[in-house]
Every structure is written in structure tokens, then in C-alpha cells.
Chain A
Amino acid sequence: MKKLHIIGIIVIAASIGLLLSLSGEVATYANFEDAKMDTGVVKIAGKLLKDREMVYDPATDPNYFSFFIEDTKGIAKKCVLLMSKPQDFEMSETVVLTGSMKGEEFVATDVLLKCPSKYKDEEIALRNAAS
């Protein structure tokens, strides 16, 4: 067998090994119940509850922002984001949080906002309309 064939086989084996290990790096969007069971980091996608309290008081701590989301099972819980409040937060419908449960709170270190049609305005703006 040629040397390159052997190396080829090693590379393919390594690829397969690494790709299999990929399953340990992926996650489905969890709900609060899953997050409680899981000791590691999970992603939770949930609906932002706009009528519940949102607390961001930079004078006390600029890296603490709390709000409530409702997960796919319909359970609502308080979430804490350890950074400044993202711009346009109130505009988003769904938020995806990366973090873990600490007691009854979900503590997140990262957030992804999904805003309805962020880049495209479906309405035609009219001249002289309120602007």
C-alpha cells in the first residue's frame, strides 16, 4: 500500500472520529426542565414576555439584565443575562439564551435576538406620513 493511502485512511478515520464527536458539541433548543437536569451549558429558545418585569439598572450593575421568557412547554421563568441590555430588546419576539439554571433562575452569558423582519420593511412608507 502506498504511504499516501495510509495517510488518506488516517485522515478519513480522524474526520469520522471528529464528526462523531460533533454530537457532543451540538444541542437542541432546551426547555427549562431540560436545563434543570443538565449540568452543562444549554440553549433555550423562548418567547419574550413583554408584560413581565424587565430590570436593567446600570447604576447598580451594568452587566445584569433580567427578564422573563416562556419556553416551548409554556413554562415562564426569570432569566438573567450577564451583560448589558441589548439594543432593541423590547422589539424581539423570540430570544435564544445560552447558559444554565441556577436555582429557579436561568443565568445566560449569551443571547441571540430574533426580531420580526429586521431588515425588510413590508409596509410602503408614504411621503408626508408621520416621519
Chain B
Amino acid sequence: MNEIQYVGEHLWPGLIGQGLNVLSFVAALLGAWAFYQGFKHRNDNEGASWESIGVKSFIVHGLSTLVMIGIIFYIMINQYYEYQYVQAHVSDDLPMRYIFSAFWEGQEGSFLLWMFWHIVLGFILLKKAGKWRAPVMLTLCLIQLFIGSMILGVYLPFGDDIRIGVSPMMLLRDMMAAPIFAQANYVELIKGTGLNPLLQNYWMTIHPPTLFLGFASTAVPFCFAMAGLMTGDHKGWLKPVFPWALFSGAILGTGILMGGAWAYEALSFGGYWAWDPVENMSLVPWLILLAALHCNAIATATGYSTRSTYLFYILTFVLIVYSTFLTRSGVLGETSVHAFTEMGLENQLVAFILFFLFWGVYKLATSWKAIPAPKKEESLSSKEFWMFIGALVLLFSSVLITTSTSLPVYNKIRQIFQPFYEGVVIAEPIPHYNKYQLWIGIFIALLSGMSQYLRFREINFPKVRNKFLIQLGIILVLSLAGTILMAQWINAYAWQYQLLLFAGVFAVISNFDYLVRVMRLRFSALGPAFSHLGFGFLILGVLASGLNKRFISSNPLVQRNSIDSFSDEDYGKNILLFKGMPMFMNGYEVTYEKDTISGFTRSFQINYKKLNPQTGAVEETFTLSPNVLYTKTFDKIAASNPATHHYLKEDIFTHISNLPRADTDREYAQEQEDSLKYILYEFGENEAFETPQYKVTVGTVNRSPEHHDYQSEPGDLAIGLPLMLESKKTGEVKSMEPMLVLRKDFLLTFPDIINDFNIKVKLPQQIVERYFEKENKLDYSKFDVLKDKSINFNGYEITFETVESNPTDLNYKSEEGDLAIAAILKLKDKEGNEETAKPIFFIRGNNSFSIKDYNAPFGLHTRFESVDPKTNSIKISVAQSKTEGIKLPIEIAEDVKRTDYIVLQAILFPGINLFWLGSIMMMLGLLISMFKRLK
């Protein structure tokens, strides 16, 4: 077979990009080796030169990766669809503001994003890590090697094509076999798939980079921990690592929180947290990181817990890699709504986890004995003891979440030995996780409040015991009172929840008291107290918005189906709204007012009126506009985006949960249309007739009709036929006006529907022939008119107002040498309505021509025949379209399904702002602590 000479391909970016890809990998390898040598020879002369080779290698690694990312952006912006990555994530109609989102939509791009942040952090470490530079950078280079291998795209020469990674520089034709590649000009023919419409919003622009910076930043404490173990300086690393870890805690936390905010604000998940495996596995490393931070604080203050600090920093990073494995290997498949598609990288990902897990555990185990710890054990009355208990509780929480979340992994492993093993799943994830994590919340909230009043290395507790107990007693009493107050607002219906409520209130009051009264807002205490205060608020927010979340979209009057064994909770999450018909639900009057389409988005305007429960008077009115996003083919819904009305106290969350099928499925809509039985009726203007269900009265033909789907263009000939319908059953009367437009050679029909009557009416095309007569059938009358004089025709008064030279008109194309004038005629009917006509007369060469004017509303045709220069009069001829006696064809279908409704879901989230406030305070507290530790 001959090699095809493809045309239109741009191969050079791919060649350079792949070259840089390999260079970046090799440089990371060299860097790891040089830093290792630098570390080994740190006490002799060779060390410095090895280290400087390492620094240079890392700079080369960093720059080549950055340029490679630049090249990927270049081919994406230029839409070089011959590249698989471009074809899969970009399309012609993708707005430029989503180019970043498109870049990290795919696995390759998000691996690069991860590497990018490691490089940024690495550059800072090169400058700031001081004597820790060589061992820290050694580990970072190793991490970069593993991630780099995911996008390397190199085949090993032995075995059957062992592939290492998937390169984003691959050509489409190398990735898949398709008949299209037999054509040399295939590049012109293909188009991009584009960014998943679900991901086309600003959250996709800000959430991934933040989360990946969070991921990347956990590598730094890991590198420091490994450096501590390698050098044997078990004390020295504790101080420089601390601000890095605090930074990581703040950013990773913010990244996770943004995910929750995205789910809540822009997706129709109906909440900010759903215990989805992907969410869980980003939360777990953060919890372990918090445990590590507490141990780090203990270790720097007292010397206890150094081993735990090591363990937790190592675990944090390994768990980040594990979470990457879960989301990217496809193992979650069935249990998560947001995992990546598989790429065949499972083995590499497993190697990534196992390498760092075994290396970390091995180093820790072999150094265990050498890690210093005070001989005397922590006293029960010391701060370090209770802080450590807190860290243990966090670990405990992580173990529980990880185990439940890892069931798919357990199933996969068991299936290796037992191919027919079916696999188990958590039956009801949300209650399952809530049930256990509730206790974690209680413990942490109580500990975070109480331990504030204890001191590190307390040796004189008997002296302060009374003071401590009195303080604690007062706080407990206050908290109890606070809990009773809060319980008026938050309905905590089970004793476990009441206990959690108490713990939350306790955390808020005790930390507030500690911060303001005990520490007098001193900077040194600000960070931890702020974070713990935030945690208290978070607990209250979770309880309020989670426990008391209420579906208000239910109407108790709606008839229920005959399943009576289910509780009220199972019913009434959705209500049906007909357009323009107000509906009562839970203290609100809700109306679906209208919908508008722009681009692929269809927005619905929903009006809420809050009613006073006693008087029924309207207290407040607001409008929400949830929307749905259609796919490019306009036949399916890609995303349903909620709209939320925010109060300080609560949120009202609204989204469209269903639409008429005819609106979302074009085939079905066509089927429905085809299945309608239209009956043809023929009646003249102002006549009446009956259909099976309705009495119909025909109005007079409207020559300038309006229809919501019709946008008039110059030159259109439109007719509408007003109809009055009276229901035989109810006597209700409604009117409608189907219309028809003749635009050049096209015929456009605009049927009209009365949804309440289930009736659809359209005008068949015969009406055009019957209505717009041929010119020669018209019966013209000739007149001579003087300027400002009038004539009478069929009851119309026609006044010749003036002459316009060089007229412009749609039907008249002027040529060089034309002599053209138009007569401006004022038309007036018996009722006094006025219109203007502008027939044109022109001389071209030796011939004279006239262009008639047709005035649709009056049905008058006017011609400008000639000018009499002697008398200053003009000759015009006038005719009128005849409509009397014409039988108008009308097609009517009855029993048509309604399509003017939406199914709406509305949820009330009380106190959700406490959740956001609490979470933001926690992150701020971490940042404040970071600045404190940088000093």
C-alpha cells in the first residue's frame, strides 16, 4: 500500500511538542539523579556541583514543559483538528474564554496542569529551600517523572507494544483507524467534538486550577518529610515545612469547596455535597493534612508527635495519588457521576501509588527508632494530648470514608480471583456516610473548643484546674442555652443531631470567647481560633441546610397515585407548571411566565410571590430564571442549570427537572406532528362552523399579522386568519390566529395552538392561490388626480400628496440614466385608518415603466401610469383584491397534547450561608496561620 501524502496537516508543532515532552522527562530523570548525588555528597566538595546540575536540569524540565503547554494552546487556538487532543476538546464554535477549560477537560491536559503547579512550586523551592534543596527537589523530580510518564506516549521496544502514557501531541490518524484517513485532504473534512456543554461555565475555568494547585501543594510537605527521613534531621524539617503545609491546607480546602459551590450553583445536583466517590477522595487527603498540621504544631511546640507528623504528610500525598487513581482509572465507573473516561493508564497509576507508598512507609519504618520523642508521656491535662486525639479522630474519619469509597477497588481485586464475583456497593451512600461522620463532627467540634483552654506541656494543671473547670462550665451552660435557641430555628429531630447541634454551638461560643476574651484578638491565636470558629459555623450550616432542606415544589392538592405505603417525603419533589397559569406551593404562588431561546440556552422565567400564611397577601415578589442547555443538534438537553434566590437566612433553589418530550426530542416531536389528524374546513370570512368539540367563527383576513415565531422581512406577503373558538363543553371562548407567509419562493406556515383547548390550527398553502390573485385578474380603474386632490375608490379616499424623485423601493433597481419618480398617495378607509402608497413611474431609454404598490392592510393595488406636465396631474390606476365569497381552507387538529408546561423542582436551603461563612473562615484561618509561621 502506498503511503498517503496528506495535505493540510501542521506537523511541526507536534514534532517540537513531542520533542519537548521527551526532553522534559529526561531532564526530570537527570534532575532526580543529580539531586540524589548532591544529597549523598552534601558533606563533601562534589555536593555543590551535583546540586547545581540538578537545579539546571529542573529549570530545563520546567521550561520545556511550559513551552509544550504553550504549543498545545497554540494548536488548540488554531483548531488543528489533525491532533487528537484538539479534535476531542475544541470545536469551531467554542468561545475563546473556554480555551483553558478545554485544555484541562482531558486527562492529558489535567496531568499537565498538575505538573505545571509542581514546576511553579519547584521554582520557589529552588530559591527558598536552602539546605533542604537537594533532598526535597529529588523527591519532587521523582513525582514529576511519574506524572510525566502518563503523557509520554512512548512505546517500549520489547514485548507486545507496551505503551508508556498517552501524549497530547498524537495525531488523530495515529490514534484511531477510520475510513476517512484514506482521503489525503481529511483535515478539511473533520471537525472538533468540542467541550462538553456541562463544563461550559466559569466554574470550569476556576475550579480545576485551584484544586490542582491544592493537589500539587501536598507534594511539598511530602518532599520535606522524605528529606527529613533521608537526612535523619528529624527536627529541622518541621519548621520550614509548616507554612507550605498550611498553604496546601488552605488551597486544597478552597478547591474542594469550589467543587461544592459549582455543584450547588450551576448544576442540578440539589446540594453542595453528595458523598460522591470523587468528592470523598479529595476530602480524605485534606482531613489527613489537617491531622498532619496539628501534629506538626505539637511537634514544633513540644517534641511529641514527630512520627505522626511524618506519617500524616506521607499519607496525604499518597492519598492524593490514590484519589487520582480512582478518578482516572475508570474503576469508579458505575458509582460516580464525575469520573474521567478511561485511558488505559491503570497500571502506571498503580505503580505511581505503590512506589511512593512503599518508599514512604519503608523510610519511616527504618527510621522509626531514631525519630526522637520525649520519654515522658503526654499528660491528660495538656493541649498536645487532646490535639493528638483530634488528629486521631480525623484519621479515623478518613479510614471510614476511604474504606466505603474503595468498595469498587475491593470488588475489582476480588474479581481477579473470583471472576464471577458480583461486587457490592453501598446501598444508600448519603445516610451511610452521614451516620458515621456525624460522630466525627461531634468529637472534632467539642475538642476544637475545649483544647483551646489547655496549654502545651502543662505541668501545673492542679493550679489552673479550677479556673479551667469554671470556664468550661460557663461555656457549657451558655452553649446549652444557645442550642435551645438554635433548636427553635433548626429542627434537629434525632438526639444525635441535637448533640451535633450542641457541639457546633459549643465550638462557636468557646472559640469566640477564647479569641476575644482570653487572647484579646492577639495575632498568634488568630489563625487556629478563626478556623475552629469557622468549623463551628460550618456544622451549624450543614445541620440547617442539610437537615432542614425542604422541597417546596409540592402541591398537596394534586391527586396522588395509588401507592400509599410511601412517606410524604417520597412525594412532591416536583410540580407541573403550565405557562401563564399560577400555581400554589408551600406558601408561594408560582407562575411560569415565559421562555426565551438564545444560542443553545433556553431560559425560563419563573415568578415567585411569597404569600403571608395568615392573610394570603403577597409579601414579596421575585423572578428566577433557570435554564436548560441544548446539545448542538438541538434535540437533547445537555444540562439543566438552576437559579437561586439568595436571602441572608436561606436560599430558594429552582431548576427545571423535566420538559415536554416534544421539546427535547426532535424525532418524537415529528412523530407527534405526523400523528395529528388534521381535518380540512372551508369557510369564508365572518362565517361560523362547528368541529367535534368547538364552535369556530372566522374573522376577516389580517394582512399584517403577528406571531411569536415570525420575524418579518421586507418583501414578505403575510396573511393571518383570526379565529374565535368556543368550547362546546365549557362555553369558554378563546381566540387564535394561525398565519402563513410568502417569502420570495418559500411558503412559511405558522400554526397556532390553544394549549388549554388541546387544539392546533394551520393554514394550508391553497389559501395563497385563493387569496393572492394573479395580477391580470384584478380590475383596475383609472383616475387623473391633481396634487392635493382626492378621489374615491370603493369607499377609500385616495389623496395625491406629492411626487418624490429618485425613489428607493425593494422592487425597483435603479440604473444609470433612469428618470424615476414616485407618487406619494395617502389612503384612508371609512373608519379613518390611514396608510401610504408609493407607486413608481420611470423612464429607461425610450420606454416607460411603472411599479405598482400593494398595500396589504387595505388590499389596494395602485399604479402610477403617467404624468401630464400641462395640467400637473398624474394618471393612476387602482384595484382592490376581492375577498368576498372566497372559501378559505383551514386545517384543525383536536386532542393535541399540551407542550406549554415545565416540571419544576424548588428546594429551600435554610442557613446555607452559615456553611459558606464557616468554610471560608476555616480557609482564612489556615492562611493567617501560614503568614504567622512564615515570620
Point out residues on A near B: beta carbons under 8 Å. 2-4, 7-8, 11, 14-15, 18-19, 22, 25-29, 41-43, 56, 58-64, 80, 82-85, 87-88, 90-91, 96, 98, 102, 107, 109, 112, 114, 117, 119-121, 124-127, 131
Q: Is B399 an interface residue (CB 8 A)?
A: yes
How many Å lie between the Cα of A25 and that of B905 in the bound state?
30
The one of A41, A88, A109, A126 in contact with B189, judged by C-beta atoms closer than 8 angstroms, is A126
Count residues of chain B with CB under 8 A from any CB of chain A: 65
The one of A19, A26, A42, A107 in contact with B426, judged by C-beta atoms closer than 8 angstroms, is A26
Q: Cβ of B558: which chain A residues have Cβ within 8 Å of it?
A: 61-62
Scan B886-930; emit 1 where CB is below 8 A from any A CB, else 0: 000000000000100101010000000000000000000000000
Q: CB distance A87 to B566 under 8 Å?
A: no
Q: Cβ of B88: which chain A residues have Cβ within 8 Å of it?
A: 120
Q: CB distance B378 to A4 under 8 Å?
A: yes
The one of B392, B424, B561, B575 in contact with A26, judged by C-beta atoms closer than 8 angstroms, is B424
Q: CB distance A41 to B436 under 8 Å?
A: no
Q: Tell me the B788-806 residues at the A interface (CB within 8 Å).
A: none
Chain A residue nearest in CB terms to B196: A119
Q: CB distance A84 to B903 under 8 Å?
A: yes
Q: CB distance A59 to B563 under 8 Å?
A: no
Q: CB distance B559 to A59 under 8 Å?
A: no
Chain A residue nearest in CB terms to B404: A22
Q: CB distance B901 to A58 under 8 Å?
A: yes
Question: Assuming A84-B657, A114-B334, is B574 touching A62 (CB within 8 A)?
Answer: yes
How many Å lie between the Cα of A7 and that of B192 in the bound state?
59
Min CB gap B198→A, angstroms: 9
How many Å lie between the Cα of A124 and that of B563 in the bound state?
47
Q: Is B849 an interface residue (CB 8 A)?
A: no
The one of B341, B378, B559, B657 in contact with A119, judged by C-beta atoms closer than 8 angstroms, is B341
Q: Cβ of A120: which chain B residues have Cβ within 8 Å of it?
A: 88, 341
Q: Is B428 an interface residue (CB 8 A)?
A: yes
> 10 interchain pairs (CB within 8 A)?
A19-B403, A25-B427, A27-B425, A28-B422, A61-B561, A63-B573, A87-B636, A87-B664, A90-B665, A125-B193
Q: Cβ of B640: which chain A residues have Cβ within 8 Å of it?
A: 87
* 3 pairs of A and B residues whose beta carbons are closest in the complex: A27-B427, A26-B424, A84-B657
Q: CB distance A98 to B427 under 8 Å?
A: yes
Q: CB distance A84 to B574 under 8 Å?
A: yes
Question: Assuming A15-B396, A84-B574, is B427 touching A127 (CB within 8 A)?
Answer: no
Q: Is B388 an interface residue (CB 8 A)?
A: yes
Min CB gap B435→A, angstroms: 9
Q: Cβ of A56: which chain B residues have Cβ within 8 Å of it?
A: 658
Q: CB distance B571 to A85 under 8 Å?
A: no
Q: CB distance A7 to B178 under 8 Å?
A: no
Q: CB distance B193 to A121 under 8 Å?
A: yes
How many Å lie between the Cα of A89 and that of B88 in the bound state?
25
Q: CB distance A82 to B571 under 8 Å?
A: yes
Q: Is B473 an interface residue (CB 8 A)?
A: no
How many Å lie between the Cα of A3 and that of B341 in the bound state?
48
Q: Cβ of B388: which chain A residues have Cβ within 8 Å of it?
A: 4
Q: Tell me the B855-880 residues at the A interface (CB within 8 Å).
A: none
Q: CB distance B563 to A22 under 8 Å?
A: no
Q: CB distance B403 to A22 under 8 Å?
A: yes
Question: In the complex, which of the residues A25, A28, A56 has the most CB atoms of chain B within 10 Å of its own CB atom?
Answer: A25
